[in-house]
Structure 1
Amino acid sequence: MDGNNLRGVDKFDLHQRRQTETSSPLHQIKMSSVFYTHSTMKQPWGIKMPSIPSSTMFHLILNGEAIVSVYGARITLGPGDFILLPRGTGHEIVDVNNTPAIDLFENNLEKVTEHYERLTTSGSGDITTTLCGTVLFDNDITTSIISSMPNYILITAQSDARQTIESVVQAIQRETIHEDYGAGLIVSRLADVLILQCIRAWINDVSEENQNWIMAHTDKRLSRAMKKIHGDPATNIDIESLARLSGMSRTSFIEYFKKTVGQTPKKYITDWRLSLARERLSHSREHVLNIALEVGYQSEAAFSRAYKAKYGESPSHTKKIGYLKAQA
């Protein structure tokens, strides 16, 4: 094959790749606004963040340390670590001494611009500095995709994605501080990039075994079923009800779901619940039975069997390793 034909193949491959990317639900993720806080906190300090619907929240640790508590999990963060809470869940961020958290608005907040503020605490101890943000969205596809993400995404300072994410966060900070012409539009586009980078890092690091799940969120026949699956992992979900939501027979639904997602509905639901459980076990002090119930299992024994079959270790072992890492 000569050089001209090779270039033609390259162009065709590029065209195909671009078509795939633009048809992906990720292409339809749109963030509408960002509220940004630069925090300088001297020990002792602890902040209780309110729940904000239709939003994602994030914290980037510039220096010092912090502990984020969400859904029973406690995640220790150091310099360069970034945590995203996809669904705007209320949570606490406190110092390493576990100082009791007080409401965000009871702290010293200085409004700098419409979308930017500074927070300082009155302590005199070691300092932790963070860049934190709340990203708002009102797009149905964005809402659907966000609903299927875990309670939080942790991107450590060692992650390949960290440098890019930190650069985007700091670019958002610059725009929100100065608010020059077009700043609102630029910030919303930067927020799109930030969330997409986090989703990509999560997919690459956590969900390699099945990335087709995201396509189901815009599939007209499966989107309602996906919303049901991800709405409450503790709820009893039967295949018949999912089939009815999708307007198909049970057999047709199973075949169509497997063709689209790459797994049967039963395996997809099981994998989703167990991945949530693994996250909780790694960072939570909750009892194994409580976590099992929260992800839809009726007994610790059934949960343990399914968990070991998937991950090759018991839930208690995962919990122990998570505890040892937190103490290190």
Structure 2
Amino acid sequence: MDDKRTQAMAKFEQNRRQHEEVSSPLSQLKMSSVFYTYSTMKQPWGVKIPSIPSSTMFHLVLEGEAFVSVYEARVKLGPGDFILLPRGTGHDIVDVNNTPASDLFDNEIEKITEHYERLTTTGEGELTTTLCGTVLFDNEVTTSIIQSMPDYIFVPSQSLAHQTIESVVQSIHRETENEDYGAGLIVSKLADVLILQCIRTWINEISDEQQSWLLAHTDKRLSRAMKKIHGDPSAHIDIESLAELSGMSRTSFIDYFKKIVGQTPKKYITHWRLSLARERLLHGNEHVLNIALDVGYQSEAAFSRAYKSKYGVSPSYTKKSG
């Protein structure tokens, strides 16, 4: 009798989790197509990638090393390292000597299939090879989710998620290279898996306190407020304006926000901005004051106090360890 009851409870819990996953905004994440580039680059080389609206871009280094510069951040990639740029932001990918980036189309590009090409540079030095992709989407919920993500997600080769991500990227590579029957459909499904895996990695490893942002960002009453919060980290944001955007009184907005997100709007905004700052400290060469101003603090001292309260160390300590 106890065994049957235990089995029934386990079945109930499994069904509950499946229902939660199906009803999650992530279940509505849909990618429409992928354009793929296999790059063989010998030093000196540097490539300037243009911004592409309604897209997500990624780079997987197969051999050698590279630097990806997006806004003020400069992220070093070694063999197996992966970087995702959720919003299709224009960026540079260059060799370890920081060779100035030239326009993408100044390089030798060979079109293999409709969705696959090979890029080769003219240098004769050390080799770097990469698999790079541009994933397109046109789903409103996907756009909403993507817009609230950070400028980039870095997945090092030693990450627990790395094997899955590399496997999916290689599968996309094979499908786009050959384009057999049904390749387009398969690639779009693989792209869904790739982006979902990256989001999960970010939630689990980078922003564990922001896990409710998905629900809040797609909630009908909170979506406009979340868009404002994530749209410009440096902007002055007061609770009254967020409540007005949500069509609620200040008190009702705070209560509802806390119910959905699990923390007050003020605390959420603080944690979000400090999370963004931490990533820039780890992977960029900016002055602490510049980062502080960009995430909404009026002084380096105020930023440092908030940062140390959250992470237990100073911004300068994080910057040195990056």
TM-score category (smaller protein)? over 0.9
Kindly provide the CA deviation profile for residues 217-254 of structure 1, in whole angstroms up to 9, marking residues without a partner as x.
22111111111111111111111111011100000000
Q: Distance in 1 between matches of 2:60 and 2:77?
A: 9
> Identity over the aligned pairs, expressed in percent?
77
- Write the letter of the residue equivalent to 1:86: P
**CA RMSD between the two structures:** 0.9
Q: Distance in 2 between matches of 1:143 and 1:234?
A: 22
Aligned residues: 322
Aligned to 1:76: 76
Shift in Å, 1:210: 3.7
Aligned to 2:25: 25
Aligned to 2:114: 114
Aligned to 2:8: 8
Aligned to 2:223: 223
With 17-26 and 307-316 compared, the bigger mean Cα shift is at: 307-316
Paired residues for 1:103-252 under 5 Å: 103-252=103-252
- Write the letter of the residue equivalent to 1:220: K
With 282-291 and 189-198 compared, the bigger mean Cα shift is at: 282-291
Give secondary structure in 1 for the equivalent of 2:88. coil
Q: Distance in 2 between matches of 1:4 and 1:311?
A: 46
Q: Runs of 4+ in structure 1 displaced over 4 angstroms?
A: none
- Write the letter of the residue equivalent to 1:166: E
Query: Is the contact made by 1:94 and 1:100 (CA closer than 8 Å) also made in structure 2?
Result: yes
Q: Distance in 1 between matches of 2:92 and 2:38?
A: 16
Aligned to 2:34: 34
Query: Is the contact made by 1:74 and 1:283 (CA closer than 8 Å) also made in structure 2?
Result: yes
TM-score (normalised: structure 2): 0.98
Query: Is the contact made by 1:141 and 1:217 (CA closer than 8 Å) also made in structure 2?
Result: no
Shift in Å, 1:3: 2.5
Shift in Å, 1:6: 2.2
Shift in Å, 1:80: 0.6
Q: Would you say 1:277 and 2:277 are equivalent positions? A: yes
Q: Distance in 2 between matches of 1:206 and 1:75?
A: 15
Query: Is the contact made by 2:277 and 2:291 (CA closer than 8 Å) also made in structure 1?
Result: yes
Shift in Å, 1:56: 0.7
Gaps of 5+ in 1: 323-328
Shift in Å, 1:209: 2.6
With 203-212 and 110-119 compared, the bigger mean Cα shift is at: 203-212
Query: Is the contact made by 1:33 and 1:135 (CA closer than 8 Å) also made in structure 2?
Result: yes
Aligned to 2:51: 51
Q: Distance in 1 between matches of 2:72 and 2:210?
A: 27
Aligned to 2:305: 305
Query: Is the contact made by 1:82 and 1:154 (CA closer than 8 Å) also made in structure 2?
Result: yes
Shift in Å, 1:183: 0.9
Q: Would you say 1:287 and 2:280 are equivalent positions? A: no
Q: Distance in 1 between matches of 2:319 and 2:2?
A: 58
Give secondary structure in 1 for the equivalent of 2:109. strand
Query: Is the contact made by 1:110 and 1:117 (CA closer than 8 Å) also made in structure 2?
Result: yes
